A and B are shown apart, each in its own frame.
Chain A
Amino acid sequence: MEIPYEVTARRDTGLYNAKIGVWLFLASEVMLFGGLFSAYVFLRVGTEPGIDNPWPLGINVQMVFAGFINTLVLIASSVFVVFAWVALKERKWNVFRNWMIGVLVCSALFMVIKSIEYNSKLTKHHDVKLTDNSILGGTILKDEDGVRTDRIRFDAESVTVDFTGGLPGFDSQIAKADREGLEFKIEGSDETLKLGELDGWFMENRRRTLRGMAEMRKKQRKGTWDPETDKAPVSKATLLASFRLNANPRKISSRDEETLNLRDRTVVKGKLVSDTILFELHSINLQMVPLQDQENVLAWKLIKDDHVKENVLALRDEKLELVRDHFEDGVIPVKTLQGPVINYHNIHDEPGAHGDGGHDDHGHEHGEHHGDEDHGKSDAAAKEAHPGDHGSEDDADHDHGHGHGDHHNVVVEIPRDQTSFVTNHGPRAGTYYAIYFTMTGLHGLHVVGGALVLAYFLFFGKRLFLKNPEHLANRVEVGGLFWHFVDLVWIFLFPIMYLM
């Protein structure tokens, strides 16, 4: 039996089934993305300058040109899909096929550009927050062994595993050069263990330990446990071997020069080789450092550049004077005392340039603020107007990190004990990045889903075209509606995430 109104429209509504269905679906999608946009606005206007982590301006932390190209690519794909529908209405299969191939090429290009952006954020851009709340933006470098210097490099002599803890993860962090042929000697026995046998050996002992502990508890409950004759099950074992461990600091609960205590209850003993972070510096963010404390921030000791320090402090003094004059009663909102973001190359290479009065590659002045309610003027304008609430945006790196061809890239050594937070520009870096990845990631999944549906029409639609071309035209129209919606979401995402 044929389903009615698949091709011809109903007389009462004037619509075929799929069209009503897809518009209902799109209505629900509007609520999905609307909720996310609403959350974004809520989080953004709720950020308190000087108290919360600064909200970066998209224009300074995003690959804006990549986003621009992606916008054009999606617009082109929208045009292509509507021309594909027209070709079906004209009963021209080959023309339809060509336009649809164009749509799929555009969607693939979009995802490739998106993956390049994500890769850049996750692997090439980092922020190091120091203990005085100043934030250094740049790239974590590798050492001569090719190991990222945010790892704790440790020469291990022994590892004590706890069978009541989690499966040890230290083995994945052993240096590549030491992995080949590595054997552990089990302390107190003649047995040895190869690296690949570690997990199996651990799980076997874990089962034995947990069984023993269950029996012990059972005896204790019954009152038949004799501490003199009954022994508690062995819950730990020590493995002896010498190897280099490049430990992930997020998996360490505490450490000193000779011991690493990991979160899975493994204890590694040996000697600390290095925990200093080698960092290619791009920017210094003093937004969390009150103006009056900027003289002694840790960043100056690390970069050892008096020129930068003098420029920034000169700008600071100007601002303090303006602020004092403006707020005569001495009552000053916290956000007014918010420090600047310094693009290191601009301030370093332009003698006499002010900390956030320099110009970046985009012709915008630094010290631009984000649109907070009482904001906000750049420092340059502040001199003319009033020294109002000023929040400079994050100026970490633009297009990105490697585009400073004329500059000598400064590398600083950051002692680990002076850091409070080290991150890439992934979701954990802050609310802005979290919502950026959520929204663009969800949008990307919609692109993939839409492309799969349109690909189905391209590769399997010929049969339906020969049988009932109007039916195929309706399906493509409906798939195209979804595709246009995806384009529509990106039309809003691009300016909000990349330019504001």
Chain B
Amino acid sequence: MAASPEEMASHKKSYTAVGIALGVLTCLTLALGYWHPFDMGVPGLDWTDITLGLVVACVKSSLVALIFMHLNHERGLIYKILVFTFCFFLSLMVLILFAGSDPIREAFDAVRTSLS
């Protein structure tokens, strides 16, 4: 059924606000990657910069998911589906940790050299 004008007006306001916020956060992402004064931690790309960049990306994606995709007031069944998705996705990322104990890495670390 058609939504009430008041309901839609408040929706429009929140969509506009989120759209602007996303634009600002995108500029922030670019500044973090590009602009020297925003270079946190050690100069150059390091784990601080990577973490910050990913945090900003997570904030942006949360805004899209919650507001644009209406997840902030969705039904329980959708959340149940997404819990599984989240767990599987996390497993994919965690799998990489197992590569850290790959024996071939230890062999590389053990390469010796000396300077003449």
Contact = CB atoms under 8 A, between A and B. Distances in A.
A196 to B, nearest CB: 53
Contact of A378 (B34, B44, B95, B102): B44
A488 B65 contact: yes
B101 interface: no
Given A333-B109, A364-B34, A75 B23 contact: yes
Interface string A325-358: 0000011111001000000000000000000000
Given A375-B46, A377-B42, A320 B53 contact: no
Given A79-B15, A377-B44, A499-B53, A330 B115 contact: yes
Given A377-B42, A487-B64, A79 B89 contact: no
A76 interface: yes
B61 interface: yes
Contacts of A363: 34-36
Interface in B7-44: 8, 11-12, 15-16, 18-19, 22-23, 26, 29-30, 32-36, 39, 42-44
A495 interface: yes
A495 B23 contact: no
A458 interface: no
A79 B65 CA distance: 12
Interface in A33-72: 34-35, 37-38, 41-42, 45-46, 48, 51, 57, 59, 64, 68, 71-72
A452 interface: no
Given A35-B92, A332-B114, A90 B34 contact: no
A475 interface: no
Contacts, number: 193
A362 B38 CA distance: 12
B69 A75 contact: no
A365 B23 contact: no
- Describe A's contact surface by its main secondary structure: helix
B99 A34 contact: no
A14 interface: yes
Contacts of B49: 371, 500
Interface residues of B, number: 64
A323 interface: yes
Contacts of B113: 290, 332, 334, 337
B78 A377 contact: no
Interface stretch (A22-30, A137-145, A176-184, A412-420): A22-30
A203 interface: no
A275 interface: no
B42 A14 contact: no
Interface majority SS (helix, strand, loop, mixed), chain B: helix
A499 B29 contact: yes
Nearest to A81: B68
B46 A376 contact: yes
A381 B26 contact: no
A86 B8 contact: yes
Given A68-B26, A363-B36, A492 B45 contact: no
A198 interface: no
Contacts of B115: 292, 320, 323-324, 330, 332
A500 B5 contact: no
B44 A90 contact: no
Interface string B73-116: 00101100110110011001101100100100100110111111
A164 to B, nearest CB: 42
B91 to A, nearest CB: 9
Nearest to A19: B78
B107 to A, nearest CB: 10
Contact of B12 (A30, A86, A323, A364): A86
A494 interface: yes
A450 interface: no
Given A31-B85, A41-B93, A499-B33, A82 B68 contact: yes
B57 to A, nearest CB: 5
For the complex of A and B, the 10 pairs showing the least CB-CB separation, nearest first, are A499-B33, A368-B44, A79-B19, A363-B36, A38-B92, A27-B85, A14-B75, A89-B3, A34-B89, A495-B53
Interface of B: 1-3, 5, 8, 11-12, 15-16, 18-19, 22-23, 26, 29-30, 32-36, 39, 42-47, 49-50, 53-54, 56-57, 60-61, 64-65, 68-69, 75, 77-78, 81-82, 84-85, 88-89, 92-93, 95-96, 99, 102, 105, 108-109, 111-116
14 contacts: A14-B77, A24-B81, A27-B85, A38-B92, A42-B99, A78-B22, A79-B15, A292-B116, A333-B111, A371-B45, A375-B46, A492-B57, A495-B33, A495-B53
